C-alpha cells in the first residue's frame, strides 16, 4: 500500500573576524550522507557569527545575554535550505518533468532540509491541508504526468489538478488523499471531479506514522458544457430521461472499500509505514516504505 494512493565567554574581536570561515569549514566537514548545497552552509555560518556578536554586545553593556540564538540560527538555516529545495523543484511539474540529473540535485537539496529536522517531530503541526509539489513515487508520477501533451501536439485526455493530503489531529487520526482532475469537453475545467482515498493513521515513533487505508471515492462530478449539450441539446426539449441522467451524473459517487465489513468490525487492516522526515509550519516531507518514493508538500489554507 502507498501513502498517497492506497502510503530532522567573551572573546576578542579578532576571533569574530575568523568565525565565518571557521563556521563554514566546520559545517562543510561535518559528516553527512549527502553534500548540502553551498547556500545552506553559508547561512549556518552567518547565523553562528550573528549569535556571537549578540553575546559580545550584551556582555559589553553589562546586560545578561539573551538565550534565543539557537532557534534563530535554525530558523535562518531552515529557510535557506527550504528556499533552495523549492527552487530546484520549480518547473518539474510535481516531478513528472524532472530528468534523472535534476532528480539527483533535488534529492541533495531535500536531504539538506531533512538534516535540520529535530529528532522528534511536533505532530501538532501535522493537522491541516497539504499541497503536493514534488514526488518520485513510481505510482504517482504517471498520474501527475497525465496532463502532458500527446505526440503531434494533441491535447491530453485528462488534466490533473491539485493533489492534497489533509490530516486531522493526532487524536482523531484520519487522513485524506485528494486528487482533483477533469476531462476536457466532458467535465468543467480545473476541477471536474475528485478522487479521494480515506485512511486512518497513528503515531508509531518520533518520525513515523502508520496508515490503514479504508476506502476510495470518486465523486463531486461537475459536468461540462460539451457533455451537457450531448445529453440534453439546448435546441431540443429536455425530457424526464435527460433530466434524470444529468442529475445522476452530478450526484455520482463511487465507493471502493479497501477492507471487508468483517475486517472493519474487527479493527483489522494492513498498516503502511510512512516516515515523516521533515515537518514545520509550511513544509512536510515524507518517505514511503521501501522504494515507494518521496513526497514534498506545502501547507495551504482550507
Residue 66, pLDDT score: 52
State the SS3 of 84-116: HHHHHHCCCCCCCCCCHHHHHHHHHHHHHHHCC
Residue 122, pLDDT score: 95
Categorise residue 225: left if φ over 0, alpha if ψ from -120 to 50, beta otherwise. Answer: alpha
Residue 101, pLDDT score: 93
The pTM of the full predicted model, rounded to 2 decimals, is 0.71
Distance CA(255)–CA(218), nearest Å, equals 7
State the SS3 of 131-195: EEEEECCCCCHHHHCCCCCCHHHCCCCCEEEEEEEEECCCCCCEEEEEEEEECCCCECCCCCEEE
Residue 236, pLDDT score: 53
Give, for all 302 residues of the chain, the pLDDT tens digit: 666 666 444 343 433 344 444 444 444 444 444 444 555 444 444 444 444 454 444 445 555 445 456 556 668 899 999 999 999 999 999 999 999 999 999 999 999 999 999 889 999 999 999 999 999 998 899 998 887 777 777 778 888 999 999 999 999 999 999 999 998 888 888 788 999 999 999 999 999 999 999 999 998 888 887 777 777 665 555 666 767 777 777 778 888 887 666 665 656 667 889 999 999 999 999 998 766 799 999 999 98
Amino acid at each position: 500500500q502507498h501513502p498517497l494512493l492506497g502510503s530532522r565567554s567573551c572573546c576578542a574581536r579578532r576571533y569574530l573576524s575568523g568565525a565565518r570561515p571557521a563556521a563554514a569549514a566546520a559545517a562543510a566537514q561535518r559528516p553527512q550522507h549527502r553534500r548540502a548545497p553551498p547556500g545552506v552552509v553559508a547561512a549556518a555560518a552567518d547565523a553562528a557569527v550573528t549569535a556571537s556578536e549578540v553575546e559580545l554586545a550584551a556582555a559589553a553593556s553589562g546586560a545578561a545575554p539573551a538565550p534565543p540564538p539557537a532557534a534563530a540560527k535554525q530558523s535562518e538555516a531552515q529557510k535557506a535550505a527550504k528556499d533552495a529545495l523549492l527552487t530546484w523543484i520549480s518547473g518539474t511539474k510535481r516531478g513528472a518533468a524532472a530528468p534523472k540529473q535534476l532528480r539527483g540535485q533535488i534529492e541533495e537539496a531535500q536531504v539538506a532540509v531533512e538534516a535540520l529536522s529535530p529528532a522528534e517531530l511536533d505532530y501538532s503541526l501535522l493537522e491541516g491541508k497539504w499541497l503536493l509539489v514534488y514526488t518520485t513515487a513510481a505510482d504517482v508520477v504517471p498520474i501527475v504526468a497525465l496532463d502532458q501533451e500527446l505526440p503531434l501536439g494533441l491535447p491530453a485526455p485528462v488534466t490533473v489538478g491539485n493533489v492534497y493530503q489533509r490530516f486531522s489531529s493526532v487524536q482523531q487520526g484520519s487522513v485524506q488523499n485528494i486528487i482533483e482532475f477533469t476531462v476536457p469537453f466532458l467535465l468543467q475545467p480545473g476541477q471536474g471531479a475528485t478522487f479521494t482515498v480515506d485512511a486512518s493513521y497513528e503515531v508509531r515513533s518520533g518520525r513515523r506514522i502508520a496508515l490503514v487505508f479504508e476506502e476510495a471515492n470518486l465523486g463531486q462530478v461537475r459536468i461540462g458544457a460539451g457533455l451537457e449539450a450531448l445529453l440534453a441539446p439546448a435546441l431540443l426539449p429536455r425530457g424526464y430521461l435527460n433530466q434524470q441522467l444529468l442529475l445522476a451524473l452530478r450526484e455520482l459517487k463511487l465507493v471502493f472499500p479497501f477492507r471487508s465489513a468483517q475486517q472493519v468490525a474487527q479493527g483489522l487492516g494492513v498498516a503502511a509505514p510512512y516516515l515523516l522526515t521533515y515537518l514545520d509550519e509550511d513544509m512536510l516531507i515524507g518517505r514511503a516504505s521501501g522504494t515507494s518514493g518521496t513526497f514534498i508538500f506545502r501547507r495551504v489554507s482550507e
